[in-house]
A and B are shown apart, each in its own frame.
Chain A
Amino acid sequence: MSLLDILLVAIRVAFAAFVPLCFIAVCVWMERRGAGFFQDRAGPNRANIFGFRAAGLVQNLADGAKLFFKEDVISDHIQHKFYFVIAPLIVFFTAVVSFAVVPFADTLVLNGKSYIMQGIPIDIGILWFLALAGFGVYGIILAGWSSTNKYGLLGSLRSTAQVISYEIPMGLAIVSLLVVYGTVNLNGMAQFQGQLLFGFIPMWGIILQPVGFLIFVIAAFAETNRTPFDLAEGESEIVAGFHVEYSAMKFAIFFMGEYIAMFASSAIIVTLYFGGYQIPFLSTDTLITYAKPVAFLLMLGLPAGMYFFAGWIRKNNVSHYPRKNDPRVYEGNIYIKGFWGLVILLELILFAILLCKSGGAAAHIFVVLLQICTFLMKVTMMIFVYIWVRWTLPRFRYDQLQKIGWQVLLPAALLNIFITSAFVVALS
């Protein structure tokens, strides 16, 4: 193994491990500010460090610090303290690991050697995800049971029944997808989606499998315990459900686990249905060939985008009440300067690519970076959809939840498999 090999392994493992963690902050921030804007509020925007609020991101630091220093209570009535402590870790760990099989860029070819761009280089892909998503619920069940609390137990029972019900349509939706893609390898799926249908439509999963997509998304919402399927928490009837007895960092780990699960399942949805890291109309080969024009276009586009972004900051980063020497204007100006600096740095990098040999290693790395950005952008959008749905739809009633799972999604998924299979057989 050369040094490059080790470096690339380190990079991809680090990416698979730390990007979800970093996205916790992004998710929480999006959730809270987004909820504010959905409801015509501001959301948390006061916490600051020397007056810098980073659009509310500092609030996450404050919350984290608070949870970290809070007293970690384990009530005396909890008999199985080991299970009680291990439960949030299960939820957290399975969520992190389930992301490990998702490819965040196409295979990188350097010096004639291929490097796979996913945390764990295995081919079982989607099966890994299904297994771990199912396993994550053990944490919730264990938490509810070991809490020795009726609300906790009710919450975990709901969660169990819900996951069992929704894993079936989810699995069936994937089956029809597998029929289409002909592989379980997620990278293979992403590569498949780089093709064009009839020569002008990206061959994304959502185009080929619209019904399957809806079923999968609904099931994924249920699997991650997000509204409208967050009956396991059900504040109004069972207080907080499975994590009612948890406090401080143990609660925080549950909380983070939930957001990582959301990130991982967004990543899976993107990979299965939105072309993964693929940029529409620009397959990996095309990109490598036309790396320089793309870089040039980006060089033009970045300052233009930044210009509008600066205008937006200037307009919105102000105090909306009479205030002398508004510090937020000053704050906003510093942000703008910082972002312009970033843009200049990127311009320099892009310029360097323009100077390099076309089709060489630099072009390959540039394409990988581009695809990573595309992938993360798509995932962020999917996370936004999660948040968007949460602040739009009310929670289902429990019988409605089961009814949708068994009486609507299951038959629809089965029907989808038959129709898809018929099509695939007819076309081949």
Chain B
Amino acid sequence: MSAKVKTLERKGSSLAEKIYFVEIFKGMATTFGHFWRNLLDNSNLYVRHYPEVEPEIPVRWRGRHRLTSHEDGTVKCVACFMCQTNCPAECISIEAGERLDDKAEKMPVKFNIDLLECIYCGYCVEACPLDAIRMDTGIYSVTDNNRESFVLGLEELLQTPGAFSEEEYKKGGA
């Protein structure tokens, strides 16, 4: 995939352009054109009427996080701290513990993500060696009344379902 490059002509050298006024009036004509068109008919505005019309979330959208689990419901995360190490906002804090279900040796006993600190960069998802953390919940609106409720715990992260099927997610390039 290569970006489309459009080379623009460099302006500002001719006398008419140096005088400014001609160009200023041209620019004002352009903006007035927009104004007038929208004033006469406001149905073509480039706006989404949120919250009545909700945005369509693409698969690659980085929404709120979740922790994935094995088919039997046990957490996939092995508390390797890769996400915490990579996190540029230092919003993840993990406490590791002994795991006894033979899936691995180690598992998180605490896994907190502070959404107030998170910058939704997705580095944690990139860093995870086990696809245990994903940002595919499609949740884009995180609001509450107190700071404490923005710290997501292990349970909450595990219980949030993904918004997409496994095939869609894989196809999305993750």
Residues of A within 8 A of B (CB): 34, 36-42, 214, 312, 315-316, 319-321, 323, 388-389, 391-393
Contact flags (1/0) for B46-75 with A, using CB distance below 8 Å? 110100110000000000000000000000
Whether the Cβ atoms of B40 and A40 lie closer than 8 Å is no
Q: With A and B bound together, what is the CA distance between A337 and B53 in angstroms?
A: 30
Q: How far is the CB of A234 from chain B (nearest CB, A)?
A: 21
In the bound complex, do residue B53 and residue A42 qualify as a contact, i.e. CB atoms below 8 Å apart? no
Contact partner of B45 (CB less than 8 A), chosen from A34, A40, A312, A315, is A40
Residue from B21, B30, B47, B52 within 8 A of A42 (CB atoms): B47
Q: Mask for B10-46, Cβ within 8 A of A = 1, else 0? A: 0000000000010010011011101100111111111
Are B31 and A391 in contact, CB atoms less than 8 angstroms apart? yes
Say how far B26's CB is from chain A's closest CB, in angstroms: 10
Interface residues of B (CB under 8 A from A): 21, 24, 27-28, 30-32, 34-35, 38-47, 49, 52-53
Q: What is the CB-to-nearest-CB distance from B156 to chain A, in angstroms, rounded to a whole number?
A: 32
Q: Which residue of B lies closest to A387 (CB)?
A: B35
Chain A residues with CB under 8 A of B52 = 319, 321, 323
Residues of B within 8 A of A316 (CB): 41-43
Contact of A388 among B32, B38, B39, B46 (CB under 8 A): B32
Given contacts A321-B52, A323-B52, A388-B35, contact A41 B28 (CB under 8 A): no
Residue of chain B at shortest CB distance from A228: B24
Q: How far is the CA of A214 from the CA of B22 in the complex (A)?
A: 13
CA distance A38 to B32 in the complex (A): 7
CB distance from A219 to the nearest CB of B (A): 15
Asked whether, in the complex, the Cβ of A37 is within 8 Å of the Cβ of B47, the reply is no
Choose among B28, B35, B42, B43 the residue that contacts A34 (Cβ–Cβ < 8 A).
Answer: B35
B27 / chain A contacts, CB cutoff of 8 Å: 392-393
Contact of A37 among B24, B30, B34, B49 (CB under 8 A): B34
B47 touches A41 (CB 8 A): yes
Across the interface, do A321 and B49 meet the contact criterion of CB distance under 8 Å? yes
A317 smallest CB distance to B (angstroms): 9
Complex contact A40–B46 (CB within 8 A): yes
Q: How far is the CA of A392 from the CA of B133 in the complex (A)?
A: 45
Q: Which residues of A contact B28 (CB under 8 A)?
A: 388-389, 392
For the complex formed, measure the closest distance between the CB of B31 and the CB atoms of chain A, giving whole angstroms: 4
The one of A36, A320, A392 in contact with B43, judged by C-beta atoms closer than 8 angstroms, is A320
* Contact assessment for B42 and A42 in the assembled complex, using a CB-CB cutoff below 8 Å: yes
Contact B49 A38 (CB under 8 A): no
Q: Give chain B residues whose Cβ lies under 8 Å from the Cβ of A389.
A: 28
Q: Is the CB of B35 within 8 A of A38?
A: yes
A15 to B32, CA, bound (A): 32
Verify B47–A315 contact, CB threshold 8 A. Answer: no
Evaluate contact between B24 and A393: CB separation under 8 angstroms. yes
CB nearest neighbor in A for B38: A37
Which residues does chain B contribute within 8 Å of A41, judged by CB atoms? 45-47
Given A37-B39, A42-B42, A392-B27, the answer on whether A320 and B49 have CB atoms closer than 8 Å is: yes
Task: Pick the residue among B31, B40, B42, B46 that contacts A38 (CB under 8 A).
Answer: B31
Contact (Cβ within 8 A) B38 A40: yes
How long is the Cα–Cα vector from A312 to B39 in the complex, in angstroms? 9
Determine which residue in B21, B28, B38, B53 has the highest number of CB atoms from chain A within 10 A of its CB, and name it: B38
How many whole Å from B76's CB to the nearest CB in chain A? 40
Contacts of A214 in B (CB 8 A): 21
**Whole-angstrom distance between the Cβ of A387 and the nearest chain B Cβ:** 9
